[in-house]
Amino acid sequence: MNGGKGRALTEGQRAERRLGLWLCAPAALIMVVVTGWPIVYSVLLSLQRYDLRFPEDKAWIGLSNYATVLTSEVWWNAFWVTLLITVVSVAIELVLGMLLAFAMYRAIVGRGLIRTVVLIPYGIVTVAAAYGWKYAWTPGTGWLAGLLPEGSAPLTERGPAIAIIILAEVWKTTPFMALLLMAGLAVVPEELLRAASVDGATLWQRFTRVTLPLMKPAILVALLFRTLDAFRIFDNVYVLTNGSQGTGSVSISAYHNLIGGLNLGIGSTMSVLILVTVAIIAVVFIIGFGTAAPGSER
Amino acid sequence: MAEIVLDHVTKRYADGTVAVDDFDVRIADREFVILVGPSGCGKSTTLNMIAGLEDITEGELRVDGRRMNEKAPRDRDMAMVFQSYALYPHMTVRENIAFPLKLAKMGRAEMDERVERAAGLLDLAPYLDRKPAALSGGQRQRVAMGRAIVRDPKAFLMDEPLSNLDAKLRVQMRTSISRLQKSLGTTTVYVTHDQTEAMTLGDRIVIMRAGLIQQIGPPQELYDHPRNLFVAGFIGSPSMNVLPARLEEGLLRTPIGDIPLRGRLRRATEGPDVPRDVIAGIRPESFEDASLVHDTDQGGTFTGTVDLLESMGPEKLAYFTLDTGAVRSEHLAEAGGEEAGEGCQLVAQLDPKSGARRGAPVRLWYDTQAVHLFHPKTGENLTER
Ligand SMILES: Nc1ncnc2c1ncn2[C@@H]1O[C@H](COP(=O)(O)OP(=O)(O)O)[C@@H](O)[C@H]1O
Ligand SMILES: [Mg+2]
């Protein structure tokens, strides 16, 4: 809300502000109930020793769950695997998404068809798609596994399994990236590109010197959305490897501790750490936005 | 510096629209040519074909004798100024102006020197480190000009570069563009829909309508000798008065009196294809207050009641309504001629010493030698063929 000049609000402004608050209130209340409370509850759980197998041992233990998790090799392995999946898949999605966005935006014939086809993977439920990939890579039954040398079972080896997880993730979410980037392409005025070509720019120079800088805010939004999503990757990993061979993501670890291990304290600690990491990523991007909007600063 | 030849150039868009039809003009080196015409007549399309932003459907574009049809815009060495200015919002003024030089991989020192010089010419020096968003409309326009002149191109192509400016700034920029072009001597093609700009800027005017060239010539020639009713109505402000007229033995009967058919008027009406009913055209400045004219015999006179009087300073404009129906012609509506509701409007440009008053009758003299006759169907100027 813009506060007008100086501190004092007129009666009208104050009334408007009050109305604004009232209008937000229902949404804010629902947010508090469905997300705020679980977060607070997780933080509370993370400060306790609380294993459902030994409920009588429940106690407040301060930050020692955090010490346990942060010194655990399993956690750090999951963390680095998640980071690897995030960085590699988002990078590939950005490049592919940009190409698809151009194809969708520039297509002269069959624009509707191209857009529909591109969006299909995004319309399929992640778990269903993940099972598709799983069967495809399972020796004996899978069409993709059949292309590999006899006797190889890629989902049972760490490197190949992570590569397949990335592949499934990229296949699934590149269309989303492409959609966001296409919205960014649309904000670049056609006349600027014409001006650049008269000024002597090649197609590539028009892209790097005009289109990309003007799209920067859209690219950052797309990267932010995708990075946050990718860091919380769960479905694909759960279906494809369930975290075996050291392929688990941080969300998988949290899940195993909470649901499989019934260790609410450790599981909640991991959840809180994921939240903190995600918040750090978001803040970094938001600082990036501040310097990204072209032409807004003098 | 270049000679630009458009050799029977036609543009047909994918949807079948013929935007430019058989455009045939030779633009001399250092010449300043104006493309003028109402909106949608194909001016921008023509300019874009010269720039390489639109393909040429038929015909040939030659620059200094070399065929350009297949060349990419970047290989044509022309600079363009757009109506929206098309400044790069993420670059400073300096970077905007330097952009074509940077793409041409010019050395740092020379680039800086050229940018400074262009900025000096256009009074942009204090703003070099600003972004376009922090500039006024006039300053943005000058940055767009700077980006064009900085690289010393073969030609300047300008598409309505002044139409986003307010009236006063437009007049200022008009003179500075004119001066700049003369001092740089760069061949320039300038698109506008504003006949005043066309009249004041160009060495030659190409006037277009619905994709077709109507007439090509220096401003004064188009003004004095319009080839048809469209050109006559488009060029000149206030525009030429058009009156219904009828040819009778040796006389031209008009709502402002009978004019004897002598000399050029007689020759004009001699052809076998000349109908009885024609359109007479007479410019506002061909009138004068009869009391200020020594020899009213040389010409005609008529008396009318002044509807409205505008004192412009060096002249007065007197408006009359004649008790006859207005001329309706497809050749006028498009040219932006007055869409007279009822009655035939007449504007006379009088000396400020005239005693004409609003609501009072005044006797006017007019120069019968300045009357044009137009064919009512084809719009052809019968007095100019
Ligand atoms: N890309 C296009 N496809 C089809 N028709 C077009 C296209 N661009 C312009 N036209 C048509 O061509 C004609 C000339 O347009 P334009 O050259 O922009 O006119 P002007 O600049 O004189 O106003 C107009 O009738 C316009 O509708
Ligand atoms: Mg135009």
Query: Which two tokens mark B225?
Result: 């000798």
Q: Give the model confidence (pLDDT) of A85-141 as tens digits.
A: 999 999 999 999 999 999 888 887 888 888 888 889 988 998 999 998 988 888 877
- The answer to whether residue A44 sits within a structural domain is yes
β-strand partners of B363 = B303
| pTM metric for this prediction | 0.84
Output the pLDDT for position A112: 84
A127 with A26, same domain: the answer is: no
- The answer to whether residue A150 sits within a structural domain is yes
Q: How many CB pairs under 8 A join A and B?
A: 65
B248 with B216, same domain: the answer is: no
Q: Give the model confidence (pLDDT) of A168-218 as tens digits.
A: 999 999 999 999 999 999 889 999 999 999 999 999 999 999 999 999 888
DSSP letter, residue A211: I
DSSP letter, residue B204: E
A86 with A54, same domain: the answer is: no
A45 with A182, same domain: the answer is: no
Output the pLDDT for position A261: 83
Region A225-231: mean pLDDT is: 92
Q: Give the model confidence (pLDDT) of B6-44 as tens digits.
A: 999 999 999 999 999 999 999 999 999 999 999 999 999
Highest mean pLDDT among A110-124, A247-261, B116-130: B116-130
B108 with B159, same domain: the answer is: yes
- The answer to whether residue A4 sits within a structural domain is no
Output the pLDDT for position A7: 60
Domain that holds residue A17: 13-64
Query: Which two tokens mark A83?
Result: 């980071």
Region A258-267: mean pLDDT is: 87
pLDDT at A297 over 60: no
Q: Give the model confidence (pLDDT) of B363-383 as tens digits.
A: 999 999 899 999 999 999 999
| 3-class DSSP state of A243 | coil
- The answer to whether residue A296 sits within a structural domain is no
A50 with A90, same domain: the answer is: no
Q: Give the model confidence (pLDDT) of B190-207 as tens digits.
A: 999 999 999 999 999 999
CA distance B318 to B349: 6
Say whether the peptide bond before residue A38 is cis (omega within 30 degrees of 0).
Answer: no
Whole-number Cα distances in Å, A49 to A39, A55, A256, B58: 18, 9, 17, 83
A155 with A43, same domain: the answer is: no
What's the CA-to-centroid distance between B23 and ligand 1, angstroms? 15
B240 with B107, same domain: the answer is: no
B290 with B367, same domain: the answer is: yes
CATH code at B153?
A: 3.40.50.300
DSSP letter, residue A55: G
CA distance A232 to A228: 7
- The answer to whether residue A158 sits within a structural domain is yes
Q: Does A260 touch chain B (CB under 8 A)?
A: no
Domain boundary among B205, B227, B249: B227
Least confident of A43-57, B209-223, B241-255: A43-57
pLDDT band of A293, cuts 50, 70, 90: low
DSSP letters along A142-160, please?
Answer: -TTGGGSPTT--GGGSHHH
pLDDT at B216 over 90: yes
CA distance B286 to B202: 24
Domain boundary among B201, B227, B253: B227
CA distance B277 to B248: 9
Is residue B281 within 8 Å of residue B306, measured between CB atoms?
Answer: no
B176 with B252, same domain: the answer is: no
pLDDT at B304 over 70: yes
A127 with A223, same domain: the answer is: yes
B99 with B210, same domain: the answer is: yes
- The amino acid at residue B138 is G
Q: Which of residues 175-214 of A touch B (CB under 8 A)?
A: 189, 191-192, 194-202, 205, 209-210, 213-214
Domain boundary among B227, B251, B278: B227
- The amino acid at residue B20 is V
A25 with A129, same domain: the answer is: no
- The answer to whether residue A264 sits within a structural domain is yes
CA distance B300 to B369: 10
CB A214 to CB B90 under 8 A?
yes
A60 with A111, same domain: the answer is: no
B169 with B205, same domain: the answer is: yes
- The amino acid at residue A103 is A
B300 with B380, same domain: the answer is: yes
Task: Give the max Cα distance, chain B.
Answer: 78
A196 with A245, same domain: the answer is: yes
B344 with B373, same domain: the answer is: yes
Nearest neighbour of A213 by CB, restricted to B52, B74, B90: B90
Is residue B381 within 8 Å of residue B272, measured between CB atoms?
Answer: no
B242 with B200, same domain: the answer is: no
- The amino acid at residue B177 is I
* Exposed/middle/buried for residue B313 (C-beta within 10 Å: 0-12, 13-18, 19+): exposed
CATH code at A260?
A: 1.10.3720.10
Q: Give the model confidence (pLDDT) of A61-78 as tens digits.
A: 888 889 888 988 889 999
What's the CA-to-centroid distance between B377 and ligand 1, angstroms? 27
If you average pLDDT over every residue of chain B, what do you get? 92
Region B149-153: mean pLDDT is: 92
Output the pLDDT for position B250: 86
- The count of C-alpha atoms lying within 13 angstroms of the C-alpha of A103, restricted to the half-sphere facing its C-beta, is 17
Which distant-in-sequence residues (6+ apart) come within 8 Å of A14 by Cβ? none
What number of other Cβ atoms are within 10 A of residue B321's Cβ? 16
Output the pLDDT for position A295: 47
Domain that holds residue B203: 4-227
Query: Which two tokens mark A178?
Result: 């492409």
Q: Are strands B316-322 and B308-311 parallel, antiparallel or unpaired?
A: antiparallel
Nearest neighbour of A197 by CB, restricted to B73, B130, B134: B73
A25 with A117, same domain: the answer is: no
B241 with B159, same domain: the answer is: no
- The answer to whether residue A297 sits within a structural domain is no
ipTM of model: 0.86
pLDDT at B339 over 60: no
Output the pLDDT for position B108: 93
DSSP letter, residue B380: B
pLDDT at A271 over 60: yes
Q: Give the model confidence (pLDDT) of B159-178 as tens digits.
A: 999 999 999 999 999 999 99
- The answer to whether residue A178 sits within a structural domain is yes
pLDDT at B278 over 60: yes
pLDDT band of B118, cuts 50, 70, 90: very high
CA distance B335 to B37: 8
* Domain count along chain B: 2
B309 with B187, same domain: the answer is: no
Q: Give the model confidence (pLDDT) of B54-93 as tens digits.
A: 999 999 999 999 999 999 999 999 999 999 999 999 999 9
* Domain count along chain A: 2
